[in-house]
Structure 1
Amino acid sequence: MTVDRRSFRRESEDQRRESLILAALELMSEGGPAAATVRAIAERAGTTPGLIRHYFQSKDQLTRDAYRWMMDRMTTDSQSASATASSPEAALAALIRSSLQPPVMDGTRVRLWAGFLHMVQDDPAMREVHMATYTRYRDLLQSLIQRLPGKGNPGVARGLAIACNAVIDGLWLEGGTLPDSFAPREIEQIGLSAISAILGTDLTPFAKDQDA
């Protein structure tokens, strides 16, 4: 991850805060959570430790916000691919494909996720972030599944979304960790085939960038 080092005087409050989060994520991706000290983050962002304390109550709060930012960004990146699809099947297939290709499926993000997941076990506040970001993506899946013919029942769609999310998570982890072990687009095709079987709806015709 590369941060645009613009002058803080020209940035909004939200941009300054995001710059600090991006600096923290860069350091974590390079050396793990221990590398993202307040001083190192300030140096990477081109600012002072005092500004970090202005935007975040503590280093732990910055870490939680960085986790939320990363997970929300992945969901937003995945969701944007389905926005212009012309059918429910195409929209769901686009979400699956984008979730299983760069920039969402990325080795750096997998390493960061693994480090954050360790913290989820020990920090109740981090667990809340994990639950919120997981639920956001799962609910997105559910909303797209409910648009499919015969899948409008919310309870049924919820169970299907949980199962589909588990498939996507597993493939995302493998593809991001061992990208050279798979042929181009193989992970996407496996995801579409597996989820088609779960749903009883063939999504494989949408294996390429099309929405017809």
Structure 2
Amino acid sequence: MSPERKTFRRIGPDQRREAMICAMLEIIAEDGIAAATTRAVAARAGVTPGLIRHYFDSKDALLSAAYQQHMTDLTHATCGVGQGASAAARLVAFIEAGLRAPVVSAEAVSLWAGFLTHAQQSPQMHEVHAQTYREFRDHLQGLIADALCEAGRATSTAALRRHAIACNAVIDGLWLEGGVLPDAFAPGELVAIGLASIGAMLGLPLAQNAQTATQDMIQIRITP
């Protein structure tokens, strides 16, 4: 597929940089990482290849920026939920958000898979991968710590870290399968499996908490 050429317009440096990153992500999602040449990105973003080199000293730098943007967007879509609720409800909301659209999608998994090989070959992209993984896992660890504390169960930092690694693996596995095989699962099945599995691992009734939260929301909506 040939890249779509956009009409040039005057925008600020930050917006221009963002346009280049968005163009890179769009091309990789549509045609794969091999199609995301500097020329193709420039045409899609409506800039010259020389301007891309002004903002990014190499294609690897642009790839790293695009990968960081993709992973950060997924993390924010998952982490920015459940504020102000109980600790258990916040953990439930985090798991649910990570196992539903738009986080679970064929495009999100395709982009991640396209970047993965390069993340192993490029030190810069490898550091982005490590950084975004730590951010996601550390946020999950905090939610787990709060939920266990709320349940009256003090837990060591080492144990919390292991819990976060294991629970993250469950979420990642279900996310991957849901994105690759969306028709293989019934609506809400990934969420139900995730809550049941992580709840069993932590010894917390997360599925029950999810049902209670849903019933509370329904009650709020029908109360005059």
By how many angstroms is 1:36 displaced?
0.5
Distance 1:152 1:210 in 2: 29
Sort the Cα spacing of 1:207 and 1:180 in 2 relative to 1 into closer, same or farther, 3 A.
farther
Letter aligned with residue 143 of structure 2: L
Say whether residues 1:73 and 2:42 are aligned partners: no
When the two structures are superposed, what TM-score results if normalisation uses the length of structure 2?
Answer: 0.86
Aligned mates of 1:197, 1:143 — CA distance in 2: 18
The residue identity in structure 1 corresponding to 2:40 is A
Contact 1:142-1:160 within 8 A present in 2 as well: yes
**1:168 counterpart = 2:168:** no
Deviation at 1:7, TM superposition (A): 6.3
Q: Tell me, what secondary structure is at the counterpart of 1:52?
A: helix
Q: Which residue of 2 aligns with 1:204?
A: 207
Give CA deviations for 1:31-70 in whole Å, capped at 9, x if unaligned.
Answer: 1111011111111112211221121111110001111110
1:115 aligned to 2:118? no
Superposed displacement of residue 153, structure 1 = 2.6
* Paired position in structure 2 for 1:48: 48
May I ask how many residue pairs the two structures share in their alignment?
207
Counterpart residue type for residue 70 of structure 1: H
Task: Give 1:180's aligned amino acid.
Answer: D
Residue 158 of structure 2 aligns with which residue? 155
Q: 1-side partners of 2:65 and 2:130: how far apart? A: 14
Whether the 8 Å contact between 1:92 and 1:144 is mirrored in structure 2 is yes
**Structure 1 residue 211 displacement after superposition:** 9.2
How far has the Cα of 1:210 moved from its partner? 4.1
Q: Conserved in 2, the CA contact under 8 Å of 1:188 and 1:207?
A: no
Q: Could you tell me whether the CA contact under 8 Å between 1:192 and 1:204 is conserved in 2?
A: yes
CA–CA separation in structure 1 for the residues paired with 2:123 and 2:113: 17
CA contact (8 A) 2:20 2:42 kept: yes
Larger C-alpha radius of gyration, 1 or 2?
Answer: 2
Runs (4 or more) in structure 1 with deviation over 3 Å come to 5-8, 206-212
Whether the aligned pair in 1 keeps the contact of 2:8 and 2:47 (CA below 8 Å) is no
Q: Deviations over 1:164-211 (max 9, x none)?
A: 000000000000110111100100110011000111111102446749
Matched, 1:190 2:193: yes
Amino acid corresponding to residue 24 of structure 1 in structure 2: M
- Is the CA contact 1:81–1:95 (under 8 Å) kept in the aligned structure 2? yes
* Equivalent residues of 1:29, 1:111 under 8 A apart: yes
Give the unaligned 5+ runs of structure 2: 1-5, 217-224
Structure 1 residue 15 displacement after superposition: 2.0
Matched residue SS, 2:187? coil
How large is the Cα RMSD of the aligned pairs? Answer: 2.0
Give 2:34's aligned residue.
34
Report the Cα distance in structure 2 between the residues aligned to 1:151 and 1:51, rounded to whole angstroms. 54
Shift in CA distance, 210/19, structure 1 to aligned 2, threshold 3 Å: farther
Partner secondary structure for residue 174 of structure 2: helix
Q: Does residue 64 of structure 1 match 2:67?
A: no
How far apart, in 2, do the equivalents of 1:151 and 1:22 lie?
44
- Cα separation, 1, equivalents of 2:25 and 2:154: 39
Query: Are 2:25 and 1:25 aligned?
Result: yes
